[in-house]
Amino acid sequence: MSAPKAIAQMIFIGGKIIRQAFKDAYKQASINSAAARAAAGNAKSEESSNDSITKKTGIALDESKKILNVEDLSDMEAIKKKYEHMFKINDPKDGGSFYIQSKIIRAFERIQIENAENLRRKELEEQQNSAVENQEPSAPNEIKNENQEKKELDTEQNGPEIQETLYQMTNQRTVPNIFINRQHIGGNDSLNDLVLQDKLKNML
């Protein structure tokens, strides 16, 4: 292969690397976008879920927590003990009322449902995070050639000949330098567009 075509081939190789980098960047952006949409969906779902539970039980979560005098919903064993204690001391036989007992029952049921929903949302979020983590972008294709290096046409002995070859292929005469090994390729936008569109390969 002649020196001009060898240099042109290196332009094509560098173009493949740039294309792969664009693909990886786009894939990573898609993954980040999917994670953001999932987080927004979870927040909206949680708000809607709270409303539906309140309508179903007829009592809000804040009111339920006040009735049973609890804050931490994760310790259901402690909440159950408070519920049993308050239900017992409000027995109508001991001066309590069925109305108060019914409020205590509804408050306990509301907290039970809320706790179950929290566990369900947490499990769903973990599944979504796991799915996103498994969608890692592929590594760019590596070009293994220790002899590849940067070429500056202005200092190359056959630089004019190479530029003439590129001019015939791309109609662009001035190509100041060429970078390879994962580096940007010098030249104007028209030349780079041809590289990215695989048109340069077809001209070789």
Q: What is the largest CA-CA distance in the chain?
A: 108
Q: What is the mean pLDDT of the segment spanning 149-166? A: 62
Nearest to 82 by CA among 58, 65, 59, 102: 65
Per-residue model confidence (pLDDT) at position 194: 54
Give the range among 53-57, 106-110, 169-173 with minimum mean pLDDT: 169-173
Nearest Cα residue to 110 out of 173, 170, 68: 68
Is pLDDT above 60 for 56? yes
Q: Residue 55 has what pLDDT?
A: 83
Of 20-34, 50-64, 135-149, which one has max mean pLDDT?
50-64
Is residue 146 predicted with pLDDT exceeding 60? no
The whole-number average pLDDT for the span 24-48 is 58
Upper half-sphere CA count for residue 133 (Cβ side, 13 Å): 6
Task: Please state, rounded to an integer, the average pLDDT across all residues of the chain.
Answer: 69
Q: Kindly tell me if the per-residue pLDDT of 36 is higher than 50.
A: yes
Give pLDDT tens digits for 100-121: 999 999 999 999 988 888 888 8
pLDDT at 58: 85
pLDDT level of residue 53 (50, 70, 90 thresholds): confident
Question: How far apart (Å, rounded) are the C-alpha atoms in residues 39 and 172?
Answer: 49
* % pLDDT > 90, the chain: 19
